[in-house]
Amino acid sequence: MSKFKRSSQINPEISLQITSMADIFIIILVFLLKSYSTSSIQISPSDGMKIPEAHHLQSPIEAIQIEISETLIQIEKKPITSLIHFRFNSEELTTESISKSVSASLEKEKRRQQLISNANPGVQIDSKILIIADVRTPYGTLKSVLGAAALQGYSEFKLVAIQSEGAP
C-alpha cells in the first residue's frame, strides 16, 4: 500500500498503453476476415443433428434442401412429416416404400419451378437436391426420401458433409 502511495506521488498520471492492444485487434480482425465464409449458400442444420464428416468434398451449390433429423423431415426449412427415431410411420409410405408427403411436397416445388421456367425462358428447372441427414439415419429412410425425389425428376443428389481436417 505504501509502495503504491510512493509511486503515485512520483507519477500521478497512469496512461494505458493501447497501441499494442490495437495491434492485437488488427491481427484478430484479419484472421477472422480471412476465415469468414463469403458463400451465399446458407446451410444451417437443426440443433442436435450430427452431420457426417468427409475429406474430399466439393463446394456446396444452391439447391432445394431436404433435412432428415431424428424426428422430422424438412424441405427448405418447412416441416413436411414427422419421424419416429429416424423412421417413417408405415402409413406415410407407399407400397414402393416412397414417402407420400415428401413426394407431394417435391411435386409442388417442381410445379412452382415449371411455372417460373414458363414465364422466364432463361430460368431452367433445377434437378438438384441437397440432402442434409443425420449420421444415424438408416438407409431405409434415406431410400424413401431419395426415391420420392427421383420420382419427381430430381436426379442429382448432393449429400452434405463437414470437411474433415485430419488425415483420411
Partner 1 sequence: MNIGQENTGSASRSQDFDLNLAPIVDCFTVLITFMLVSASFLSIGILEASPNTLGQATTSPSAPTETLRMELKIEGVAEIQVSGHSKQLIPIPAKAGTWDQALILQTLQGLKIKYPKIDVLTLSAQNEVEYLHLVHWMENLHPLFQQINLGGF
Residue ranges binding partner 1 (CB under 8 A): 18-19, 21-22, 25-26, 28-29, 32-33, 35-37, 43, 51-52, 54-61, 96-98, 130, 133-140, 142-144, 146-147, 149-150, 155-163, 168
Nearer Cβ to partner 1 (6/56): 56
How many residues make up the chain in this entry?
168
Residue where the block lists cell 432445394: 64
Task: Tell the smallest beta-carbon distance from residue 21 to partner 1 (Å).
Answer: 6
Q: Is the dihedral of CA 14, 20, 24, 26 positive or negative?
A: positive
**Edge-to-edge strand list for the sheet holding 72-75:** 78-82, 72-75, 64-68, 128-133
Whole-angstrom Cα distance, residue 168 to residue 166? 6
CB 168 within 8 Å of CB 91 = no
SS3 145: helix
Nearer Cβ to partner 1 (7/138): 138
Task: Tell the smallest beta-carbon distance from residue 157 to partner 1 (Å).
Answer: 4
Task: Tell the smallest beta-carbon distance from residue 164 to partner 1 (Å).
Answer: 9
Nearer Cβ to partner 1 (29/115): 29
Task: Tell the smallest beta-carbon distance from residue 5 to partner 1 (Å).
Answer: 28
